[in-house]
Structure formats: structure tokens, C-alpha cells
Amino acid sequence: MFIDCFQNNGTDYLRLVESRRIVDKNGKKTPRKRVLLNIGPLSNFDDGKPEYLSRLRDSFRKGTPLIEPLLPFAGKMQPKAHTLTFTDGAPECISHPKIFSHVLLDRVCQSLGLSSLCATLKHELSLEYDLAGYLRLLLFGRILNPASKMSTSLQNEDYHEPIVPDADYRYHVYDVLDVLHENKERFIRRMNSSITKGLGRNPRRVFYDVTNFFFETDEPDGEEEVDGRMEKGLRQKGVSKENRKEPIVQLGLFLDDKGIPVTMETFPGNTLDHQTLRPAMKESLDGLAFDRYILVADRGMCVGPNLCGIRKDGHGYIISKSIRKTAKQDRKWILEPDGYIHKSAGFRYKSREHARTVKDENGKMQTLKEKVVVYWSKKFHDREYFQHRSFLEFIEKLRKDPSSFRVTATQARNLKKYFRKEFVNKETGEIVNANELLGMLDEEKLEELTAYMGYYQIVTSETDMEPEEVIETYHELTRIEDQFREMKGTLETRPMFVRTRAHIKAHLLLCMMALTVMRVIQRKLVDSGAASVSDDTAWSYGMTGRRLQKALQRWRVERMPNDLFRFCDTDDEDVSALLKAFGIHIEPRLYTRGDLRSIKSCIHPFNV
């Protein structure tokens, strides 16, 4: 006997059921549920305290149920003894634990609307293969055991129940990539509407940044025909974030203020970062029909066409701006001590409003009224000093004994911007006279290097926003860096082995969808209190992506004789936290197939 929670017309109901096995007309044993007591709507009994369902089940097992009508049945809950027979040579003598966490991942995919959209597309496109099954297989594989598309298709039998019951044709995984590419906007919109409804997404602030991924190939793509016109291929050599020499592809990612991906767009690898923002907004973000939002981005996006375009669309921005590329009079204002508010010994800030003139997308001059916020942080100062420490130590030694130094051509190239141009041989790059090193140094540039250490500048269209809120909002941009680390680390997005434009874009979309599934699970961990939140940051995922991946991998079930099952590693700390977050209570007992099926029905990824 166990307490079952099921949904009827969107309302959670409780009932006491008993699992039993009957023999059908073909002589096969079939699991069946027999309802012993219809308890009623969960809302009638929930006391509002955390984990009510888990506490109710635990009280029933102990014989002191929280619901009075269960008292007559509680005394009948006696531990059941099982006698299992293992025969030498029988298959049961070899253990094959199967992944069971797919039931959780499956429920998340359902809550995100992916399963229902796949059903719609299968009907619209008259597909004969299991679109939803193959998509889930690719998604679950990317989260649990990232591999190539062909290798992922072989993981089908690793699950307690195969994700695709009749996976005879492995190459359907590539057919799924084609469907993903052709229907990207529909998948993005479906996930967005589901998250908006389920988690209350309210994109008042949208974060944007760019990264790139490399391929295992040396040759970039040539031109190819796209929608009747010739375009350069996606795989191009550009400025790799990982200093790779292979061709890369650019990915622009949008994130909401809950740390969950919103949408993404891909670009050829030689596209400059700031050139991706406006196309990404037009091709991806605008299709979601968000109300006015504030875009938060790094200094690479702080160019006139981007800022004018954002304002023209009716939105706002908070973007950092390079101090060293700022006008001289503005840099002087930054260093002036007047006006700074000291929050602590290691942090101070000040702000002002100003108007500046920039060029828009059409080359016309536009005047932008902005608030400028600058702050100094000792933590940032120490970090920046450490990055330049070896150079500053070199300068100090040079000042003490210039005659003992011989600067090579390589060193001269590295230090060239700090030397006066008239002292460098233009043909060889070597120093004209090593004894005149001190005279060659540009002291003004050296002073500028150290003077601005620890300072940071942010510009915003939100002139009414308080400076501290501007700073705090901009600092949340670090969340998007975490998305890229998860994609490149936990989800192993690169190196990419697909090669066509459609499959490259679909692969990156698939990885973003897998990341979204992970973030929804992590959000549940935090909201349920099952995972602790760091006090050092305003946001936290509760459990890192790698730990979550390992916890999902460890949640397995093993088949025993008599068609009974036992769970593996549910006493693991991370697995236990994961189960607790979703109200899943795995008792230390053997389970029937019917028991296993009932677990999935109790999983609700969203809180509403």
C-alpha cells in the first residue's frame, strides 16, 4: 500500500492504492493498481509547510498518518519479507543497473512543452519515426553522458525503459536535427511560454554575451547557398575564446534574471562580438514579444549602433564601458576623489548623468542621455595588479639598474605600447640603445596603467536607477559566463563533429535545451530548500552542473528475480537532495513495476 498523488483536470488528488499482479488472458502477469481509499484533493490537507507529501507518506509508514481516514490502514503496513532465488547461470546473477533518472528528465521535458510540440510536429510533417523519443534520447544523452549523435543513439538501452521502444534506425537522430533547425522558433517559444507560466518568468532584465565553439577540422567553410543567396559558411577562423587555431562558430546567448536561458543565435566564427547583438535580437528575442526590458551586456557591445537600436526598440541597457577608451576629461572625473560614496574600505562609487553623441545603424549622429556609474573595488584592484605584476616588477628593476637589461625583439613587441615610438627600430623592432631604456619609457602610459586599476565604468539608459542597483544588476552578468562553462564542460558542446549549417545550429540549440532542463532542476533544488544557497552571491544554482549530472547518473534501478527492483545509491547526498526537491521518497524496500510507474506521476517540476 502507498499514497498516490495524481492529477485530475489540473488538480492534485490523493488516494491510497495497492499494487498487485494479475494474470491476463494470455497467461502473463500484469501489474494493476487497486484503489483502497480516495482521500481527496491535496489542497484540502496541505498544511503549507515544506514537503507535506513526503511527511504524509512517512507518517503513514510509521503508523501515525497525518490524515485521520488513513488510520484503519496504517496498522496493516508491515515490512514484507522477500525470498529471492538465484540460479547459477541465470541472467539474474549478473547485475545490470539501469538509469532511472530519465523519469525526472522526462517530466521536465513535458513541463517545458517539448513532448506536446513534438506530437504536433509529427502530425504536421507526417513523420513515421518517434520524433519525441529521439529528441528525448538526444537531450537525456547530452545531460547524462555527452557523446556523438551516433554514440548517443546506442545509449537507448541504458535506461530502465528504452527511451525509443523501436529504435531500429539509428540515423533518425540526424532527422531530428533537421526538424530542430527548421522549427527553432517554435521550440524556443514553447519553452518560453512554459517557463513563463510555470516559473513566473518576467524578463525585466535580459543578459547577453557571446562565446564560440571549435571543430575538429582545419579548413573553414566556403560560401554556400542559403534561402536563395550566397553566404559564408558558419565554420570560420576567428578570435577563439580558448585560443584554438581550428575554425569556430559564434553563439550569442540570452539569459533571464532567474539564470535560465531564453534564446540563442549562431553566427560565422569570424563575426565580431558587437556585430552579433542586433541580429540576435531581431532574429530570436523579438519573436518572443517581450515587453520593455533592460539588456545587460559586456563592454564589447558598447557601440553606438547597438545602443541606438536598443533604444529605438523601446528597451533599455546596462553596459560596461572601457575606461581607457573614454574621453580624457571623463577619465579625469573618474580619478577625482570628490563625489565618491564610500560603502567600505574596499569599495566606493559615484555617478552622474551626461549626454554623448554616437552613430546609429545608418551612420547618423544621435545624442544619448545616460547615467554613468563608476566604482573602485579593492578586490578588482588586487586581481588586476596580480595580472600585471611581472611587468611592473620588470619596470621597477629597470629603474634601479637599466644598464643590466637587454631587451629582445620579442620583449620589445610585448612592451611596445609603453615605449616612446622614436626609440624603437621600425624595421627590426629592437631597442635603439639599451642604455637609454629609462628615457624610452612612456611614464604617462605607465601611470595610467596603475591609476585605473580597480576602477570599473558602467553606462545605462536608466537615469532614474540608483547607482548601487546598476552595479548589482551588471554583476549578475557573471551568470551567463556560468552558462558557457556548463556548455563547454558538463554538456561537452565542443568539439563539434557535425558539419552542415542546419546540423550545427540544431546541435547548439539542443545543447541550450539541455542546459535549460538542468537549470529548471537546479531552480527546483533552490526553491524547495533541498540545496543550500551561497550567501556570497545574490543568486545560486544550489548544486553545480557537474554534481547534478553525477547525481542523475547515479540514480539507477536494478532488476531482481521475481520481477522485483531495488534502487541504487538513493542514500547518496546529492541524489537524496535531488529526490527531496521533487518530493520523491524512495523507501528502503523492493519495488514492483507498478511501483516504479507511480513514481513518475508524483514529479512536478514547476511549483505552480
According to DSSP, residue 419 is labeled: B
Mean pLDDT confidence for 21-34? 70
Q: How confident is the model at residue 410 (pLDDT cuts 50, 70, 90)?
A: low
**pLDDT beyond 50 at 382:** yes
Mean pLDDT confidence for 182-190? 95
Per-residue pLDDT tens for 551-591? 999 999 999 888 889 999 999 999 999 998 888 888 888 88
Give me the helix-helix angle, 501-528 and 573-581, nearest 10°. Answer: 90
Regarding predicted confidence, which is higher, 71 or 392?
71
**pLDDT beyond 70 at 36:** yes
Mean pLDDT confidence for 197-226? 88
According to DSSP, residue 441 is labeled: B
Per-residue pLDDT tens for 75-133? 655 667 778 888 888 888 888 899 999 999 999 999 999 999 999 999 999 999 999 99
> Which one, of 599, 525, 545, lies nearest residue 161 by Cα?
599
Q: How confident is the model at residue 333 (pLDDT cuts 50, 70, 90)?
A: very high
**Are the beta carbons of 149 and 170 closer than 8 angstroms?**
no
Q: How confident is the model at residue 607 (pLDDT cuts 50, 70, 90)?
A: low
**pLDDT beyond 70 at 157:** yes
pLDDT in the model for residue 418: 57
Q: How confident is the model at residue 608 (pLDDT cuts 50, 70, 90)?
A: very low
Mean pLDDT confidence for 245-258? 92
What per-residue string of b and e applies to 244-260 under the rule 16 or more CB within 10 Å gives b? bebbbbbbbbbbbbbbb
Mean pLDDT of the chain: 85
Residue 414: which residues within 8 A CB-CB, separation 6 or more? none
Distance between CA 541 and CA 524 in Å, rounded?
9
If you average pLDDT over each of 64-68, 188-192, 302-306, 603-607, which comes out highest? 188-192
**pLDDT beyond 50 at 538:** no
pLDDT in the model for residue 106: 95
Distance between CA 149 and CA 535 in Å, rounded?
40
Strand partners, 478: none
Per-residue pLDDT tens for 41-51? 888 888 877 77
Q: How confident is the model at residue 605 (pLDDT cuts 50, 70, 90)?
A: confident
Q: What is the reported pTM? A: 0.81
Strand partners, 496: 215
According to DSSP, residue 431 is labeled: B
Give percent of the chain with pLDDT exceeding 90: 45
Q: How confident is the model at residue 387 (pLDDT cuts 50, 70, 90)?
A: confident
Collapse the DSSP code of 468 into the 3-class scheme (helix H, G, I; strand E, B; otherwise coil) and give the result. Answer: helix
Q: How confident is the model at residue 53 (pLDDT cuts 50, 70, 90)?
A: confident
Mean pLDDT confidence for 244-256? 93
Find the Cα–Cα–Cα–Cα dihedral 153, 158, 162, 167, rounded to 10°: 30
**Are the beta carbons of 511 and 487 closer than 8 angstroms?**
yes
Q: How confident is the model at residue 507 (pLDDT cuts 50, 70, 90)?
A: very high
Q: How confident is the model at residue 205 (pLDDT cuts 50, 70, 90)?
A: very high
Per-residue pLDDT tens for 420-458? 555 555 555 555 554 455 455 556 666 677 788 889 999
Mean pLDDT confidence for 268-287? 92
Mean pLDDT confidence for 145-166? 91
What type of residue sits at position 450? T
What type of residue sits at position 489? G
| Weakest-pLDDT range from 56-60, 472-476, 495-499, 546-550 | 56-60
Mean pLDDT confidence for 535-551? 76
Q: How confident is the model at residue 189 (pLDDT cuts 50, 70, 90)?
A: very high
> Which one, of 233, 235, 256, lies nearest residue 245 by Cα?
235
**Are the beta carbons of 508 and 266 closer than 8 angstroms?**
yes
Distance between CA 262 and CA 194 in Å, rounded?
12
How many residues does the structure list for the chain?
608
Q: How confident is the model at residue 537 (pLDDT cuts 50, 70, 90)?
A: very low
What type of residue sits at position 363? G
